[in-house]
Amino acid sequence: MADPFAVTNQAPPLRGVNFFTQDAALGDALRPYADLAGDPGLHRIGELAGSEEARAHALPANQNPPVLRTHDRYGNRIDEVEFHPSWHWLMERAVGFGLQAAPWTSDRPSPHLARAAGFYLWSQVEPGHGCPISMTYAAVPALRADERLAKEWVPQLASTEYDVRRLPVAAKNGVLAGMGMTEKQGGSDVRANLTTATPVGDDGEYQLNGHKWFCSAPQVDVFLVLAQAPDGLSCFVVPRVLADGNRNPFALQRLKDKLGNRSNASSEVEFHGTIGYRLGDEGAGVRTIIEMVAATRLDCVLGSAALQRKALIEAIWHTRHRSAFGGLLADKPAMQNVLADLAIESEAATALGMRLAAAVDSPDPKEAAFRRIALPLAKFWVCKRTPFMVAEALECLGGNGYVEESGLPLLYRESPLNSIWEGSGNVNALDVLRALRRPESLEAWLGEMAAVQGADARLDTAVNDVLQALADIENAEAGARRLAAQMALCLQGSLLVRHSTPVVADAFVASRLANDWGGVFGTLPRTTPFDQIVGRAIG
């Protein structure tokens, strides 16, 4: 008889795999815009992301959440956040890879596309530390509203040195950025903010008094903050340390006890005479900070695509090594259908994320119009799909996936986050309607559809259905989510038809656009070549 205490039929850890070279879907998503197959930076990120060393830091960073220290031993207010060493390991490498603001000052070809691919790969290690990386990336386009402030901050934000010292910006080797918009009484309705900003000089200096109910990454060096100035809601640059070396009043009240994203600090903060420097005109706060919001929304899409990808490869890896009912799980027809369906979902998210990143690199006004419509579409749909996708992947591991050591609970807790931050589902669906009122935005979406017109009759029919729905755009708010979902699916379908393999494109269109979708994963048509799709997903 077999030894009942012997450990058998367990999948080995997923390690020693280069996340870049084994991701055929990512390669196809990048290829239309830039030749990055041999990019040494992406190879390096992919290799480290799939290593045992990286895996060893992911769980400790989440199991040991940040700790707030409001005062030192003598009673002095310090308002600092302490992190586990694994957090700093992750951050140091993310900054070193240039995943924060480096693309904005880079002279390499397609810097934002390369950065998007790197962010997607590295986020598969541990998603929480991506928050300050994303905030730093997103701060630069907003800072460019003021030449003086941009000159002061952008070079340090773009630095690839991770410097945690609490010093003025001029004395640091690199800095990171955060954001403070939402307040208790308003949430997404930031125009309801009550924090005040009082001018105290002729150089754009103000004193801020009030609170922020949700301040991202409170440990960083500088924040973009909204407050009510005399002429209306305005945007301000708020440093943690002033030029004279004194700490700016920045009272951390508590850290949020969140569902997921536990490695990352999110806080409530109060301003008591806090110094801020106006960015843009008074009354133009939303218009100014929206540049930051747009960039963070892109990272929400990329981060969700990363969660989908990591969940997918964990599911495939496990089922290829786990036997049940007389054979490997991965060879069972029902499981093959599930895995193939998950692979299609992941590839569609990746393709859309990289298409958006490529548009950031382009100076073409048509690409700006494309971003205006495609970004809220992608933010709505990709982020909304991720919790369902990760839950199904977890189920592929069964009870093994429900325990913390597997890493799947971390992914599952993280999965709703990107659909909430930077505008929840309704906000983004309504942003789609606003974009559609601009002719150039609708033309940009139609241009993507025209590129594949006639290639698949089912996709053509889905596009026509969208056009019929758009006939009553003035009364579309109640159906905004349905419209956003349809337009996002058409966009994903067009990208897969153009740039993926025929089997993936056909399965996506058949299941998502041809009224043959069972509503759950694992309901692809029986004639789908499951083995080809799953084999492509992980090699």
Q: What pLDDT is attached to residue 503? A: 97
Residue at 114: amino acid letter? A
Q: For 52-69, what is each residue's pLDDT tens digit?
A: 999 999 999 999 999 999
pLDDT > 90? residue 240:
yes
Q: What pLDDT is attached to residue 98? A: 97
pLDDT > 80? residue 186:
no
Q: 178 has which bridge partners?
A: 223
Cβ distance 100 to 220 under 8 Å? no
Q: What pLDDT is attached to residue 188? A: 79
pLDDT > 90? residue 15:
no
Q: 179 has which bridge partners?
A: 224
pLDDT > 80? residue 84:
yes
Label residue 60 exposed, middle or buried (CB < 10 Å: 0-12, 13-18, 19+).
Answer: middle
Read off φ and ψ for residue 278, nearest 5 degrees. Answer: -60, 135
- For residues 239 and 143, what is the distance between their CA atoms, to the nearest angstrom? 13
Average pLDDT in the chain: 96
- For residues 451 and 94, what is the distance between their CA atoms, to the nearest angstrom? 36
Q: What pLDDT is attached to residue 233? A: 97
Cβ distance 306 to 124 under 8 Å? yes
Q: For 380-419, what is each residue's pLDDT tens digit?
A: 999 999 999 999 999 999 999 999 999 999 999 999 999 9
* Dihedral, CA of residue 403, residue 406, residue 409 and residue 411, to nearest 10: 180
- Residues in CB range of 231: below 8 A, 6 or more apart: 281, 282, 283
pLDDT > 80? residue 516:
no
Residue 390 tokens read as: 């990760």
In the chain, what percentage of residues exceed pLDDT 90? 91
Residue at 536: amino acid letter? R
Cβ distance 30 to 354 under 8 Å? yes
Specify the range with the lowest mean pLDDT, choosing from 180-189, 191-200, 249-258.
Answer: 180-189
CA angle 49, 54, 59 (to 5 degrees): 120
Helix/strand/coil for 346: helix
CA angle 233, 238, 169 (to 5 degrees): 150
Q: What is the pLDDT averaged over residues 346-361?
A: 98
Q: Which H or E run includes 76?
A: none
Q: What pLDDT is attached to residue 464? A: 96
Q: For 131-166, what is each residue's pLDDT tens digit?
A: 999 999 999 999 999 999 999 999 999 999 999 999
Read off φ and ψ for residue 197, nearest 5 degrees. Answer: -130, 120
Q: How do 327-328 and 196-199 pair as beta strands?
A: unpaired
Q: What pLDDT is attached to residue 102? A: 94
pLDDT > 90? residue 191:
no
Q: How do 77-82 and 177-180 pair as beta strands?
A: unpaired
- Is the C-alpha dihedral spanning 396, 300, 102, 132 positive or negative? negative
Q: What pLDDT is attached to residue 145? A: 96
Q: What pLDDT is attached to residue 392? A: 98
Half-sphere exposure of 31 (CA within 13 A, CB side): 13
Residue 340 tokens read as: 């193939």
Q: What pLDDT is attached to residue 490? A: 98
Read off φ and ψ for residue 391, nearest 5 degrees. Answer: -60, -40
- For residues 78 and 92, what is the distance between their CA atoms, to the nearest angstrom? 23
Q: For 262-291, what is each residue's pLDDT tens digit?
A: 999 999 999 999 999 999 999 999 999 999
Q: For 437-485, what is each residue's pLDDT tens digit?
A: 999 999 999 999 999 999 999 999 999 999 999 988 878 899 999 999 9
Q: What pLDDT is attached to residue 334? A: 97
